[in-house]
Amino acid sequence: MTPVAVGLFVETSDGPRLLGSKCATCDTPYFPKAAICNNPNCNGSNLEDAQFGPRGTLWGYTVQYYPPPPPAKYDEPYQPYAIGLVDMVEGLRVLTRISTHAPEAVNVGADVELVIEKLYTDPQGNDVSTFKFREVRE
């Protein structure tokens, strides 16, 4: 599959990871990658590449019932999906799609894990992937 954007996520031998950055001075994590540290108590200016994931907790979510406006991409016919905020163990809060077949039955507070899944098929017939989180079932 083709990633929806370059430099957003990567498949490693340990599974998928988000690609972000971390301040070398105060350790504040950023996703996507940041150019400067926004911590008001930090004078650091050196950000290092960092990988985050795969675990977090679902802070909250909503269901996108209607097709989002461009440039959002989706396959026809449009299927409602859940979009949520995940608190990752590294201290990031990430806006993300939730991988589920039952968008109205997602559990706030659930343990979630990062996955790379298809987002849509482009006009040339290529599957385009993005990152999502799904509930961990153990």
CA distance 112 to 117: 15
What is the 8-class DSSP label of residue 70? T
Question: Cα separation of 10 and 124, whole Å?
Answer: 23
3 binds Zn ion (CB under 5 A): no
To the nearest whole angstrom, how small is the minimum distance from the Cβ of residue 43 to Zn ion? 8
CB 35 within 8 A of CB 23: no
> Closest approach of Cβ 90 to Zn ion, in Å?
15
**By C-beta, is 39 or 64 nearer to Zn ion?**
39
Q: What does the radius of gyration of the chain's CA atoms come to, in whole angstroms?
A: 16
User: In Å, how far are 28, 30, 38, 91 from 35, measured between CA atoms?
Assistant: 12, 9, 9, 18
Q: Are 129 and 116 within 8 A, CB to CB? A: yes
Q: How far is the CB of 88 from Zn ion (least distance, A)?
A: 18
Question: Which of 3, 44 has the CB closer to Zn ion?
Answer: 44
As measured in angstroms, the least distance from the Cβ of 34 to Zn ion is 10
Scanning residues 13 to 72, which ones bind Zn ion (CB under 5 A)? 23, 25-26, 28, 37, 39, 42, 44
Nearer to Zn ion, 49 or 104 (CB): 49
Extract the tokens encoding 46: 């050196």
By C-beta, is 29 or 44 nearer to Zn ion? Answer: 44
Binding residues for Zn ion, per CB under 5 A? 23, 25-26, 28, 37, 39, 42, 44
